[in-house]
């Protein structure tokens, strides 16, 4: 089993604009094997299709620049590379919440791409609540604090958040229910 620790960044606005659709602008992921070894990383920016201009709020939140997404490949191109990186072996997508799976599904549907590969997914955030016996869900930064793990990199950057989520995943390796979707 390969565990794909995944975090996405998407276009966003403040205040939220219901007339606009979020689109993935960064995919960050780590591949962890059954021996708890990080085998590789994947990081790519994505050029949005519908609203090509990032909002000032999005740029400030993610530190992703307009130039980076302008120079990026389209979602279908990046997704093909991402799925090739994952491979056809037994894998499980793991993200901090269901948002990442839902956003991947939305972007796949926007580009008329199949989504069955997303069925192998678990929310580490929801399981962490049970593992720690918490009354409510906590964000990734809060979980790192509870684990006494320093947040490294830039929060709200896909690859940095994936690296930090991987630390929490490894801290509780063997406790995750890998059968859930």
Task: Look at residue 142 and tell me if it is in a domain.
Answer: yes
Task: Look at residue 115 and tell me if it is in a domain.
Answer: yes
Containing structural domain, residue 61: 2-171
Which is catalytic among the residues 23, 26, 121, 156?
A: 156
Which is catalytic among the residues 9, 23, 26, 121?
A: 9
Task: Look at residue 178 and tell me if it is in a domain.
Answer: no
Task: Look at residue 181 and tell me if it is in a domain.
Answer: no
Task: Look at residue 107 and tell me if it is in a domain.
Answer: yes
Task: Look at residue 176 and tell me if it is in a domain.
Answer: no
Model confidence, pTM = 0.96
pLDDT per position in the chain (181 positions), as tens? 999 999 999 999 999 999 999 999 999 999 999 999 999 999 999 999 999 999 999 999 999 999 999 999 999 999 999 999 999 889 999 999 999 999 999 999 999 999 999 999 999 999 999 999 999 999 999 999 999 999 999 999 999 999 999 999 999 999 999 975 4
Measured CA to CA, the distance from residue 154 to residue 92 in angstroms comes to 25
Cβ contacts of 144 within 8 Å, gap of 6 or more = 150, 151, 164, 167, 168
pLDDT for the residue 7: 98
DSSP-assigned states of every residue in the chain: -EEEEEEEEE---SS--TTS---EEEEEEEEE-TTS-EEEEEEEEEE-SS--SPPHHHHHHH---HHHHHTSEEHHHHHHHHHHHH-SSSEEEEESSSHHHHHHHHHHHHTT---GGGGSEEEHHHHHHHHHT-SS---HHHHHHHTT----S-TT-HHHHHHHHHHHHHHTTT-S-SS--
Active site residue 156: yes
Task: Look at residue 33 and tell me if it is in a domain.
Answer: yes
Measured CA to CA, the distance from residue 72 to residue 99 in angstroms comes to 22
Q: What's the domain count of the chain? A: 1
Task: Look at residue 179 and tell me if it is in a domain.
Answer: no
CATH of the domain at 116: 3.30.420.10
């Amino acid at each position: 089993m390969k565990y794909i620790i995944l975090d996405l960044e998407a276009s966003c606005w403040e205040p939220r604009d219901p007339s606009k659709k979020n689109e993935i602008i960064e995919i960050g992921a780590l591949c962890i094997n059954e021996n708890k070894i990080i085998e590789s990383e994947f990081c790519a920016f994505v050029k949005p299709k519908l609203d090509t201009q990032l909002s000032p709020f999005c740029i400030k939140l993610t530190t992703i620049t307009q130039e980076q997404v302008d120079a990026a490949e389209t979602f279908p191109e990046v997704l093909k590379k991402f799925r090739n990186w994952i491979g056809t072996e037994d894998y499980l997508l793991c993200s901090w919440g269901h948002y990442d799976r839902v956003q991947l599904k939305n972007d796949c549907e926007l580009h008329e791409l199949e989504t069955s590969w997303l069925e192998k997914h678990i929310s580490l955030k929801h399981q962490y609540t049970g593992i720690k016996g918490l009354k409510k869900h906590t964000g990734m930064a809060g979980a790192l604090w509870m684990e006494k793990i320093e947040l490294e990199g830039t929060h709200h950057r896909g690859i940095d958040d994936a690296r930090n989520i991987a630390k929490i995943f490894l801290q509780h390796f063997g406790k995750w229910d890998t059968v859930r979707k």
